Structure 1
Amino acid sequence: MITLKKIYSVIFFTVFFLHGFAQQQVHVKYLHVRSPIATLYEDLYIKGDHVISIQDSIININTSGTLSAIRKSNKPFTKNYFISKNKNSDKVKDFFFTADIRDTEYFIHDNVAIPNWKIDKAQTKKILGYSCLKATAKFRGTNVTAYFTKELPYSAGPYKFYGLPGVILDIREDNNNYNIWKAEKVELNIDTKINFNPQFNNYPKINMKEFIEIKEGIQKKEMSDILAKMPEGTKMESGKPKYRPGLEKVFEWEIEK
């Protein structure tokens, strides 16, 4: 028989447990397989409601399947930041991230809707000693499969992924050998000083739609310049493709209501 005393004990233990997690800083290091030949690292830091993911810009190029070399560049290395903040909605979260287009760094605001996750409690695996459950969803036109652990009770993950009742330790695009994030290390109670709210005051501030329009406008102009140098009469297909080749293939403002 469950007594009132036992109920209070469970409530007290749960609150104490969650309070303890809220006070500590969690670090998850992911290997991000960006393309069939390129990998880099991404570090996720969590402290209470504060979440930031820092993506290394040093890309390892796998040239032969066995050798790895760091891509050479004439510009200094910079890191990309993905900062998530709670929005006044349980269905959308504010993300702020940095990205560059032709040597111009931007600070972009993106409204990211929570994916419609389907959790399969029958599919489990151990990752770095944590018991994980399988979840699937469609993220901006891409089918993804994630494994998350309730033993780290934060709704967070790498890049712009969130919305599960635990930290995502592995997530990847289905039927693909890249667009993969897999945790290689989890650290608890770290004392690394992290700025969870960097401002990037020197960066132009734009929203996600403006960022995509700038990037694809430059790409379109470059294609036009190439076409202009080709023999007269050469034709190239134009128009926006239904899906983009990257992870984010279609955005919310492009979906017909």
Structure 2
Amino acid sequence: MVEQETTAASREVSRRDQGKRILLVLGLVMQLIMCAAGLWPAAWVMLHGQWAGSSPARWTLLILAAVLVFNYGYLLALLVFRWLIPRPRPGQYTMSGADLPALLAFMLNVSLVKARHDPPWAAMFSSVLANVPPLGPFFRRWFGPHTTSATLGDTVRFLDPTLVEAGRNVQFGFDCTIICHHFDNRGMTIAKVRIGDNVVVGGQSLLMAGVEVGEGAVIGARSTVMPFTHIGPHEFWAGSPARKVKDLAGESAEVSRRIP
């Protein structure tokens, strides 16, 4: 009996590992298609750039134009995949049975996030082009995070960007991470992270699934905000795990009185 249970457990683990390998291959196929969508117009620009002649300056401009065209093509293909793949839905999911389609959609969304942030050209070009017009509004609406606050490129890691909602004038510190899912003995939990206006998220902080941050709150650097934590307006939280340190409303009023 024990041997049968051990064999069944081993088969379950093997099946999950096989599923991960299939997802890795699907992610690779998507990235190859996105690269092709960028390389084809970039190659066209290079092949029709006969005006460059032998001038180094003209060749420099031609190569830069091809690089920009490649990045635009890649990002447009990424938006198409974003439109085709279902977005993850908040909820509690087990690792088998009827929840498998939802888990598959979640993992495909992870592949999209990796395709957006992992390529070597993302830090130089895509991180800027995806945050400014003309593509910026489309990425904020379809890809996330849903916010009007600007970041200086990919200085913040949104692992589930479609589930992040942030208000105006939110200051994200360098290398902070926002995650809208976590695993435990019950399976996987997916929940939105909501951040109010005028919030400061300290550098290298971690905000986990279900966190809500009120207007004007401050989260200290290198803090870990545990799942489903509610931070009230004008509160200062810090630590790992993060805990309330003090209220900021009185201090804000005092500073306002001191400013001439």
Q: TM class by shorter-chain length?
A: under 0.3
Q: Return the structure number with greater helix share.
A: 2
Greater relative contact order: 1 or 2 (C-alpha under 8 angstroms, separation 6 or more)?
1
- Point out the structure with the larger strand share: 1
TM-score (norm 2): 0.24
Larger Rg: 2
